[in-house]
Amino acid sequence: MTTRETTMKSQIPTGTTPGSLVGLRVVELGTSVAGPTTGQVLGDLGAEVIKVERVGTGDDTRGWAPPYWGSEPMAFLGLNRNKKSLALDFKDERGAKVLERLLRSADVLVQNLRPGALAKAGFDLERLRELNPRLIYCEMSGFGSVGPRAMEPAYDPLLQAYAGIVSMLDTGQGPPNRVPLSILDKGTGMWAVIGILDALRRRDHTGEGSHVEVSLLQTAVSWVDQKVMGSRAGNPPPRNLGSGHAGVVPYGAFPASSGYVFISAGNQSLWVRLVSALGAPDLLERPGFGSNIERAERRAEVNEAVSEVTRTFEADDLLERLAKAGVPSAPVRPVHEVAADPQVQAVGLVTPLPHPLVPELEVINLPVTFDGAYLPHQCPPPQLGQHSAELLRELGFSAQEVDELVAGGVVDSSTSADQVTA
């Protein structure tokens, strides 16, 4: 079954009513993951998102490849739908004038450039407030705006290491691993959206904009909150538990005769059901297995005893038994199988979004539905400078001025000014 075929079985439709942010203009000075994630979610919610990119090269993710979909880097395709692209050198005095005019028209500015870079270009907080008192300015950083590391750039894996996440994945064999996903970048993007939405509500009451700040460090520490709180309470450092859970046993990936099955016996009732489903009533009678507290103290012994039984089943047989018994479980499988899963198909997470260079493009929907439907998409990820001429004409620049900016290398445009209706 092809990926295209899986999208035809969604039981959740895509609606025709856009999100509530229609009519709001967002300027995204975003690169890599965190800033573009914020812009993409706001675009999904209906906002007009104008992505300001470097002349010539654009967002860093335009060069993060492989992997590709057709000729286009997957990294860019996955983070930049529902946006318009303005390729602009705002460090040039002429480009700064363009950005000023754009910001005067904006409701929200999102930026995750190098710390201090936007201020150095003449757009510090004071200047932004002069340009547009109603502007909501969302500033994203690695380590936060104050402190000894405030001016240092940062990437997701660095903050995973800094905040203790990598140490939690240390198996003691070779170097520790990181979570191979942009959990901090995307998490920070989510916090940014929440902050921006709150700032919009504040503006409804006050008429004034806000300065919203988020950082990868703050996101990382919020993800490990219980571990940090535990250390402050005097508890010992957490051990690496693999796929296990510190307070629940058995919990994690257990071997079948082929592959692994993740089992979650989250309370005593589920433990009893698990033992029954496995046909191993003797586990209930074993000393030290009677309660979750006892099992947690004998974690290795319990896990090995359960594993001895699960190894005797084929994975599908084991999953069927656990499902009938009402024990939460799932196969441990590679990510390339996810799109073809019947449940993923039913909820319609994978959806077509044709692209002029990638006609078969599919994206992952914003994972929220409204009144039983996903929000409609506005447009596929843009080509670099695709909307430059259009936006400049909208901002009041004449066709001649647009052509001069393009000729001077201040603007990149894939469309000439005379192709744009004034």
pLDDT tens digits along 295-314: 999 999 999 999 999 999 99
What are the tens digits of pLDDT across the range 372-408? 999 999 999 999 999 999 999 999 999 999 999 999 9
Confidence of residue 184 (pLDDT cuts 50, 70, 90): very high
Distances (CA, A) of 7 to 87, 92, 246, 303, 362: 34, 46, 38, 39, 9
Mean local confidence (pLDDT), 93-116: 97
Percentage of residues in the chain having pLDDT higher than 90: 86
> What is the assigned CATH class of domain 260-331?
alpha beta
Q: What number is the average pLDDT over the span 2-6?
A: 45
User: For a pLDDT cut of 70, what percent of the chain falls above it?
Assistant: 95
Kindly report the pTM of this predicted structure. Answer: 0.91
* Lowest-confidence pick of 153-157, 171-175, 240-244: 240-244
Round to whole Å and give the CA distance between 170 and 183.
18
Q: Which pLDDT belongs to residue 6?
A: 43
- Domain parsing of the chain, residue ranges: 3-225+349-386, 260-331
412 is catalytic: no
CB atoms closer than 10 angstroms to residue 320? 14
- Residues 236-257: what's their mean pLDDT? 85
Mean pLDDT of 328-346: 94
Given a cut of 60, is residue 3 above it in pLDDT? no
Are 140 and 211 contacting, i.e. CB atoms less than 8 angstroms apart? no
> Encoding tokens for residue 134?
């109603």
pLDDT the model gives residue 235: 84
Q: Which of 44, 107, 185, 412 is flagged as catalytic?
A: 185
Q: Look at residue 246 and tell me whether its pLDDT is greater than 90.
A: no
pLDDT above 50 for 1? no
Residue position matching structure tokens 């975003």 = 30
Q: How many residues does the chain have?
A: 422
Which of the two residues, 256 and 2, has the higher pLDDT score? Answer: 256
Chain Cα centroid distance, residue 371 = 23
| CATH node for 3-225+349-386 | 3.40.50.10540
Q: What is the mean pLDDT of residues 42-67?
A: 97
- From CA 101, how far away is CA 93, in angstroms rounded? 13
Among candidates 226, 313, 218, which has minimal Cα distance to 263? 313
